[in-house]
Amino acid sequence: MADNRLIIFDTTLRDGEQAPGFSMNTAEKLRLARQLQTLGVDVLEAGFPIASKDDAEAVRLIASEITGPVIAGLARCNRADIECAGESVQAAERARIHTFIATSDLHLERKLRISREDCLQAVIDNVTLARDYTDDVEFSAEDATRTDLDFLCCIVETAIERGATTVNLPDTVGYCTPDEIEQFFTDIIGRVPNADKAVFSTHCHDDLGLAVANTLASVRAGCRQVECTINGVGERAGNASLEEIVMVTRVRGDRVPYTTQIQTTALFPTSQMLSDLTHEPVQANKAIVGRNAFAHEAGIHQDGVIKDRRTYEIMRPADVGVAQSTLVLGKHSGRHALKQRCEQIGVELSRLELDRVYREMIDLADRQKTVEDTDLSAIVERVRAQQAPSETRPTQQSA
**In angstroms, what is the minimal distance from the CB of 184 to ligand KIV?**
14
| CA 193 – CA 185 distance, rounded (Å) | 14
**In angstroms, what is the minimal distance from the CB of 172 to ligand KIV?**
4
Residue 140's binding partner among ligand KIV, Zn ion, none (Cβ under 5 to 8 angstroms by kind) is: ligand KIV
Which one, 234 or 330, has the nearer CB to Zn ion?
Answer: 234
Residue 103's binding partner among ligand KIV, Zn ion, none (Cβ under 5 to 8 angstroms by kind) is: none
Which one, 18 or 88, has the nearer CB to Zn ion?
Answer: 18
- On whether the CB atoms of residues 157 and 193 are closer than 8 A, the answer is yes
| Closest residue by Cα to residue 369 from 282, 297, 310 | 297
Which one, 100 or 358, has the nearer CB to ligand KIV?
Answer: 100
**In angstroms, what is the minimal distance from the CB of 106 to ligand KIV?**
13
**In angstroms, what is the minimal distance from the CB of 142 to ligand KIV?**
4
138 is an interface residue for Zn ion by CB under 5 A: no
Query: What are the Cα distances from residue 153, in Å, to 28, 126, 173, 194?
Result: 40, 18, 20, 10
| CA 168 – CA 223 distance, rounded (Å) | 9
The sign of the CA dihedral 255, 207, 241, 191 is positive
Query: SS3 for 225?
Result: strand
**In angstroms, what is the minimal distance from the CB of 48 to ligand KIV?**
8
83 is an interface residue for Zn ion by CB under 5 A: no
Size of site (CB under 5 A) for Zn ion: 1
Residue 243's binding partner among ligand KIV, Zn ion, none (Cβ under 5 to 8 angstroms by kind) is: none
**In angstroms, what is the minimal distance from the CB of 138 to ligand KIV?**
9
Residue 88's binding partner among ligand KIV, Zn ion, none (Cβ under 5 to 8 angstroms by kind) is: none
Residue 341's binding partner among Zn ion, ligand KIV, none (Cβ under 5 to 8 angstroms by kind) is: none
**In angstroms, what is the minimal distance from the CB of 112 to Zn ion?**
17
Spell out the alpha helix ranges (H) of the chain: 26-39, 53-65, 79-89, 105-106, 116-133, 149-161, 178-191, 211-220, 242-251, 267-278, 299-307, 335-344, 351-367, 373-386
Question: Cβ–Cβ contacts within 10 Å for residue 343, how many?
Answer: 12
Residue 100's binding partner among Zn ion, ligand KIV, none (Cβ under 5 to 8 angstroms by kind) is: ligand KIV
- On whether the CB atoms of residues 95 and 89 are closer than 8 A, the answer is yes
Query: SS3 for 43?
Result: strand
Residue 271's binding partner among Zn ion, ligand KIV, none (Cβ under 5 to 8 angstroms by kind) is: none
Q: Which residues bind ligand KIV (CB under 6 A)?
A: 15, 100, 140, 142, 168, 170, 172, 203, 205
Which one, 35 or 140, has the nearer CB to ligand KIV?
Answer: 140
**In angstroms, what is the minimal distance from the CB of 26 to ligand KIV?**
22
What type of residue is 312?
Y
Contacts of 202 (CB under 8 A, 6+ apart): 168, 169, 170, 171, 181, 185, 214, 215, 218, 219, 223, 225, 226, 227
Site string for Zn ion, 14-53 (x = CB under 5 A): -x--------------------------------------
Residue 158's binding partner among ligand KIV, Zn ion, none (Cβ under 5 to 8 angstroms by kind) is: none
Q: What DSSP string runs through 330-378?
A: STT--HHHHHHHHHHTTEE--HHHHHHHHHHHHHHHHHSS---HHHHHH
136 is an interface residue for Zn ion by CB under 5 A: no
| CA 71 – CA 75 distance, rounded (Å) | 13
Q: Count how many Cα atoms sit within 13 Å of the Cα of residue 74 in the half-sphere of its side chain.
A: 25
243 is an interface residue for Zn ion by CB under 5 A: no
Residue 142's binding partner among ligand KIV, Zn ion, none (Cβ under 5 to 8 angstroms by kind) is: ligand KIV
**In angstroms, what is the minimal distance from the CB of 286 to ligand KIV?**
21
| Closest residue by Cα to residue 123 from 137, 110, 105 | 137
Which one, 234 or 317, has the nearer CB to ligand KIV?
Answer: 234
Residues at the contact surface with Zn ion, assessed by CB under 5 A? 15
